[in-house]
Every structure is written in structure tokens, then in C-alpha cells.
Amino acid sequence: MTFNTQGRIFRFTSWGESHGPAIGCVVDGTPPGIALAEPDIQRWLDRRRPGQSRHVTQRREPDTVEILSGTFEGHTTGTPVSLLIRNQDARSKDYGEIRDRFRPGHADFTYLRKYGRRDYRGGGRASARETACRVAAGAIARKVLGRRVRIRGAMVQMGEHAVDRSKWDWKAVEKNPFWCPDADAAEAWTDYLDTVRSAGSSVGAVIEVVASGVRAGLGAPVYGKLDSDLAAAMMGINAVKGVEIGAGFGAAVLTGEENADEMRMRGGKPVFLSNNAGGILGGISTGQDIVLRFAVKPTSSILAPRRTVTVDGRDTEISTRGRHDPCVGIRAVPVGEAMMACVLADHLLHHRAQCG
């Protein structure tokens, strides 16, 4: 079973709770000889780190990564890379009230039902903190994929406010706190999210992740489809409730003529004239950009009191004070990129195994 493990050949196993001493992961299957040092991972962790703008949780975590194994003289050796990130700002005193009450929309109830006990000091394994491990593993996956592959994420919708795709500018993404590719939308979102935050509320989002430079042929026809693995990877990110590839749910309203991407020879090479497929046909990459989107639900930790029950079966209410995200989707952008990188690296190695 691989219940805390992601991937097959390039694979990582994560561990740790938000209120323990540390979190971390073990990345296995990395090819030897790849230049890898802590800054290669830290730069990606820094993008995900909380507390960087007023729009995300104010929990202060430096998220400093230590490499404990698997490298020698600045290169991977082919043995497992163990990564450690210490928890610093746990402040478990904040969480006293949630000890006995199930927070609506949280995993408190299901954890207790499954395991019969739970670490009531925070989200445990369900904490978004675990996603730091994904970002760290993703940093190594990017190294495995090489420079030719570029993976970028963007928030394309916050609440009801979608970007204008005609204004898409990848450069804009790095210039606003929302990873928004539409500079105008980003500005509007700033006010919008301030309102949401001051109301103690929260709002959902849609994230798009695009991988360019992926060679054709990655994936497998049936139960190891590239899109199937991507769907699992994205749906496994905290708070994600939907995933779509290429035209996605929009494909349902297309006709066959509209949907199927036609082909033509260009400069001696076959090219597709559109990309409704999102770069994947029959579970295998086409060589076009791989394009997916996922929906993130609004954080359930909100100020407004909500009806719930106690662990011992009484009706009550709860309102979550503390350092939470008005739009948890923001921090999901680097996580989605990382998961894309991990899935692609795994398929790259598997393709090499079977097809040379």
C-alpha cells in the first residue's frame, strides 16, 4: 500500500503533523548525478511559505529544508533523499477550543471515525503544512525533468471572479500575491479578498497548471494513464474538489468536430491545431503543453459561528479564530506545480524503463 507515498519509480513518502517537531519526506528513485543542494529546494519552498502577504495565513514558518541523505559532493547518489523541515510556530494554545468539537468542513470527524483517536491540536496530517513536503519533492522532480520542461501555475479564478484569458501574461504571475496571470484581475482581487478577510470569511479558487516541453510518449494506456495520475495527484492536494484536463468539463458541451484537435505538418513535424486534449491522448502525452485546472474549496476555518456537534455528542457552535487563509487556493499554486513535476518525473523514468 502506498498511503503516504506518491509515485512509482520517482516516489516520495511524506510524514509529520502540523504540531509535531517536524515534517519531512523521503524521495526515492532519483537518478544519480543530479546537482542538488538545499538552495535548489529552498527557492521553491519560499514561494509556498505562509506569511508573505496579508492574504495568507500569518503563521510564521521559515520552512527551512535540510537534506539528511542521498547526496554527496553536491550531487544525488541514487539513494533516498531525506528532507527535514522543522515546525516552529505551532502555538498549540490557539487550538484549545477545537479539541472537543468537529470543525465543519475539516477532517476532524472522519479522522476520529477512522482511527478512533486524533491529534486535536491541529489538522494533523490533514494540515496544509504537509504540502511543504510536496513542494520540496517537486523541486527534485524538476531537476529530474531537466530544463527543457517548464511547469507554471496560475490562479485563474477567485470566488466568482475569473481572469480575462486575453490578458494572460506569465510575467504578471510573479508580480502579485495571487499568482494571477491577469494584472487587472489581480488588482480587483486585492480589494475583494480584503473584504472577504475582514468579514472573517473565505472563498474558493481555480488553479491552472501548465507543463511545457514535455516529450510525447509519457503515460500508459489503461490504469497508469498520465491524466489519471495527474488527477489523483491534484485531487490529493488539501481542499481540492475537482480536476480537469484540457477542455475538461467544457468538453461536455462540445461536438466531436469542435473537440478533436486536428493535425497538420509544420516544418516537417506533425502539430496539433488546438489543444482541447490538454496535451494527453489515450493517457499518453502528445508533446503539446499539458494543461490542467483544479478547484479549491474555501477554507472551512472561518470566523462566523457554524453549527456543529461535540465529540461526545452534543449540539454546539464553533467559530475558528486564528491564523487562517481567506483563500487557501493561493498557496495551492506552488503545490499544484510540484505535483505536476512529480507525476511527470515518475512517468519519464517509467517510460525510459519500458521503452528505452
Phi, psi of 349 (to 5 degrees): -65, -40
204 or 336, CB closer to a copy of itself? 204
53 or 110, CB closer to a copy of itself? 110
Question: Smallest distance from the beta carbon of 200 to a copy of itself, in angstroms?
Answer: 9
CA distance 138 to 70: 16
CA distance 180 to 329: 11
45 or 349, CB closer to a copy of itself? 349
Question: Smallest distance from the beta carbon of 308 to a copy of itself, in angstroms?
Answer: 5
Beta strand pairing status for 205-212 and 81-86? unpaired
For residue 191, the 8-state DSSP code is: H
Three cell numbers, residue 275 = 489543444
Phi, psi of 287 (to 5 degrees): 100, -15
One-character DSSP codes across 58-93: -------EEE-SSEETTEE-SS-EEEEEE-----GG
Identify the burial level of 335 via C-beta atoms within 10 angstroms of its C-beta, where 0-12 means exposed, 13-18 middle and 19 or more buried: buried
45 or 84, CB closer to a copy of itself? 84
Query: By the 8 A CB rule, do 28 and 83 touch?
Result: no
Q: How far apart are the first and last CA of the chain?
A: 28
139 or 349, CB closer to a copy of itself? 349
CA distance 279 to 290: 4
Residue located via cell numbers 469542435: 258
CA distance 63 to 252: 42
Question: Smallest distance from the beta carbon of 283 to a copy of itself, in angstroms?
Answer: 7
Length reported for the chain? 356
112 or 183, CB closer to a copy of itself? 112
51 or 283, CB closer to a copy of itself? 283
Question: Smallest distance from the beta carbon of 172 to a copy of itself, in angstroms?
Answer: 20
Question: Smallest distance from the beta carbon of 293 to a copy of itself, in angstroms?
Answer: 8
Question: Smallest distance from the beta carbon of 239 to a copy of itself, in angstroms?
Answer: 8
47 or 125, CB closer to a copy of itself? 125
Q: If you compute the radius of gyration of the chain from its CA atoms, what whole number of angstroms results?
A: 21
C-alpha closest to that of 319 among 333, 336, 337, 307: 307
Question: Smallest distance from the beta carbon of 49 to a copy of itself, in angstroms?
Answer: 20
Question: Smallest distance from the beta carbon of 166 to a copy of itself, in angstroms?
Answer: 21
Query: By the 8 A CB rule, do 215 and 325 touch?
Result: no
147 or 273, CB closer to a copy of itself? 273
Question: Smallest distance from the beta carbon of 267 to a copy of itself, in angstroms?
Answer: 11
